[in-house]
Each structure stands twice: as structure tokens, then as C-alpha cells.
Amino acid sequence: MRFLTLLAAALLIACEPAPPPPRDATQEAWYSQTVEQLAALNREAESSFASGKSDQAAALIEKGQPLMGRLLSVRQPTLQAAVAASDLDQLYGRMLLSNRHYGWARLLFQKNLARWKHWQPQTPDTARRLQQAQASIAECDRHITE
């Protein structure tokens, strides 16, 4: 009798429906809003850096770091999120390079290299970004050996 009870319980457990698949966070409203917010911060920081306002650009980059972390923490970030994160890292790396912090700049460019080297599917834009990262790393390496 005990065996039949255990068998019935096992069958009932086995018939339980599968849990629902995890929600795709990239389809949530907050995700696209955060991508746009980070892209806007990137544009503002780029403009500040180009006009010689490095402190303002640095503050904007710092403000963008948590947004970037949130976007990239999802299971499969979107291309738009990766582009926004890449732009933030690229600008921060350029700022570090201009301040002669070659090792730190190289680290940020290396992140972009890894990001675009393994991105699927490859597009002309991702290939261009990969080449940009490689060129930035080469520039850091030239300065490090000086």
C-alpha cells in the first residue's frame, strides 16, 4: 500500500506543468527607457568632453555606469544596449587616454574588443566597433611603451 501511495505521489508530481519560461527583460518598458536614457547621457557626455568640459563629462559617465550595469545584467542584452554601453566605455577610455592613464584606458577598450568580437550576428557596425577597439588598444600600447 505504501508503495502505491508513493507511486501515485510521484506520478502527480511528474504531471505538474513546467514552470513558465523566464520573462524576457528586454521586452519590458523599463529596458528601452533605460537604453534611451543611457544613449542621451552618452551624447551629453560626448558633447561636454568635445567642448573641454572634462569634469562634466566625467560626472555624466559616472551617472551612466549603473544604467549600463542594469542593461547588461539581463540574460541577452539587445544590440542597442550593447551599443550604448560600448559608447560609454569608449568615451571613458578616451578620457583616460587623454589623461595618460593608459592601462585603465586599455582595460575599457579591451571590454569593447571582447564585446564586439563575440557579438552575433556580426553587422558592419559591430565590425567597425571591433576595429575601433583594436585601434584604441594599439594607441594605448604605443603610449605605454614610450
Domain count, the chain: 1
Can you give the residue range of the structural domain that contains 59?
28-144
* Three-state SS at 74: coil
Q: Please indicate, yes or no, if residue 2 is contained in any of the structural domains.
A: no
Query: pLDDT of 38-96, one tens digit each?
Result: 999 999 999 999 999 999 999 999 999 999 999 999 999 999 999 999 999 999 999 99
Q: Are 115 and 86 in contact (CB under 8 A)?
A: yes
CB neighbour list of residue 90: distance below 8 Å, 6 or more residues apart = 108, 109, 112, 132, 133, 136
DSSP assignment, residue 51?
T
**Confidence (pTM):** 0.83
Q: Please indicate, yes or no, if residue 60 is contained in any of the structural domains.
A: yes
Q: How many Cβ atoms are within 10 Å of 47's Cβ, its own excluded?
A: 13
